[in-house]
Every structure is written in C-alpha cells, then in structure tokens.
Amino acid sequence: MFGFIKKGLSKTVAALKVVVPKKKVTFTKEELEEILLEADVEYDLVDIIINEIYQGKVTREILRSKLLATLAHTRYIEPEFTAPFVELVVGVNGAGKTTTISKLAYKYKEEGKSVILGAGDTFRAAAIEQLTLWSKKLDIPIVASKQGHDSSAVAYDTIDSAKSKNIDHVIIDTAGRLHTQTNLANELIKINRICDKSHTGAPHRTVLVLDGTQGNSAIAQAKAFNEMIGIDGIIITKLDGTAKGGSIFSIAYALELPIIYVGVGEQPEDLIPFNKFEFVDGLLDALFVEEE
C-alpha cells in the first residue's frame, strides 16, 4: 500500500527536491513555508501551520503532527444501509468520474460483491458510451439510455434492477456540467429524490470526484457541489500526474469531508483507500533524514 502512495506522490516529491536538494534533520520556518507552498498547500493554511510552530527549528515530528491535524476529518465511516448499497458519483467533466466508477466497480467485484452501473450522465453521449465500454470490459451489467433522456429515470431503473437481481452495489454516474449550475443542482436534487423513492435511504453515499491536477482550485468546485447536494466523501484522481499533492491538505482542511480514495494510475486497481498517516509519511520521507 505504501508503494502506491509513493507512486502517487512521485511528481510532488520531484518538485520538492528542487526546493530541498538534500534531506535534512530540521528546517527553519522560512524553509518550511517555501516547501509547503511548492507542494501547493494553500497560502492561508501554510500561514496557520507556520504560526502554530513555536520552535525555531522544525523537526519531522513537529511537522507531522501539524499536517495530520489538517486531515482530522478525512476518516470515512460507512453508513448503515439495507442492500443494495447505492452510490451517486458527482463531479465536473474531465475530473475522471467515469474511470473512477470503473475502478470502484472493479474493487467491489474483486471483493466478491455484485455490481450494476447506471449511466446517469445523459447529457453527454460520450459518457454513456465510455461507461458502457467499461461495463463490457469488467463484465458488469449496466442500465443506460440515450443522450438527452431523463437521468433520474436511469437511476430509478438501475436500483430497481439491482433489487430484483439481489445485486450488492449500485453505482450511478451523473452529469458533470449542464447549461447552468441551477440546471445541474436541480438535476442532482431530482436524482436524489428518485433514488430514495426507489430504495428508502438511497443514495447511501454521494461521492465527489476531484481532479488532483487542479490543486487548490478544486476547493471551489467541492464547495459548490456540497451546497447543491451534500457530499459524503471525496475521491481525488490523477494524484500520480501532479506536483500539487499538498493541495490534499488544503482540500481536507477547507471542506472537513472524508477523503475515501485516491487514484494513482489508469489501471482498474489504481484506486487506493486514503490513509492520512501513509500520505503524510510519504511526503516527510522526501524531506527528512533520521537523527543519529
């Protein structure tokens, strides 16, 4: 698992090596500020971290405790539910939503669970086609309609099919962008209502997919979706393709939402549970040498 985290942080670590060519035992607060900003930690959060450090020299343990504190809300606790477990996946186009759905489906299948997909992004024909291709590749059933059809009807039919076939997991895709944010909000609210009508308590989890290469700009996206529909957890994609890994601290601190998984590659198995201790230690290993 730790190897996967290091893979995901490889570009962030490479960027830090420009600032810190050699590992050190301690850093000054000025050096630490430069390091955190280089990793794309938001300036206001960097300021908070720096101001909470009273020692002149910053050790690994001091920084570790401060970074872990910013991730205090990242732990996800699965809600109680009556099967099937219904999951709504939201996010803007281009964030990796469809690929993430396929990775989730693969993960559940590897755990021995049955899965069905709902192609609820009826705004884009490409989204329906892409999810259908993944369903064939993974040998997983899918409920899909044509572009322009009612996405909430797709959600209802997917849940209904899962209940009739005793399927464990329902994963429903949603549109990432409609003509206006009001349209998107109304559609998501309607899907939520129809899910609950089809299966009381559904959706049991609404997951927001954020593009890790967007860095701190993803915070505004997340706040908008959370206000629209209420987010239960976040999946951060493309972590292996960005030098902005430090933005995870800002995202977690600003939103106070669980980070459930991070994507560290293109393969179905490249979706790993987020572990704040492994994540922080992966960064610190690039900066600090152990005291003799």
Report the distance separating Cα 127 and Cα 120, nearest Å: 9
DSSP codes of every residue in 143-185: E---TTS-HHHHHHHHHHHHHHHT-SEEEEE--S--SSHHHHH
Q: Which domains does the chain have, with CATH numbers?
A: 2-73 (1.10.238), 85-274 (3.40.50.300)
**pLDDT tens figures, 206-225:** 999 999 888 888 888 889 89
- Whole-structure pTM value: 0.92
Query: Residue 280: pLDDT above 70?
Result: yes
- Residues whose CB falls within 8 Å of the CB of residue 4, separated by 6 or more in sequence, listed in order: 264, 270, 272
Report the distance separating Cα 162 and Cα 256, nearest Å: 32
Q: What is the pLDDT of residue 4?
A: 61
Report the distance separating Cα 127 and Cα 38, nearest Å: 35
- Residues whose CB falls within 8 Å of the CB of residue 211, separated by 6 or more in sequence, listed in order: 92, 94, 95, 96, 218, 236, 237, 238
Mean pLDDT over the full length of the chain: 91
3-state secondary structure of 64: helix
**pLDDT tens figures, 109-158:** 999 999 999 999 998 889 999 999 999 999 999 999 988 889 999 999 99
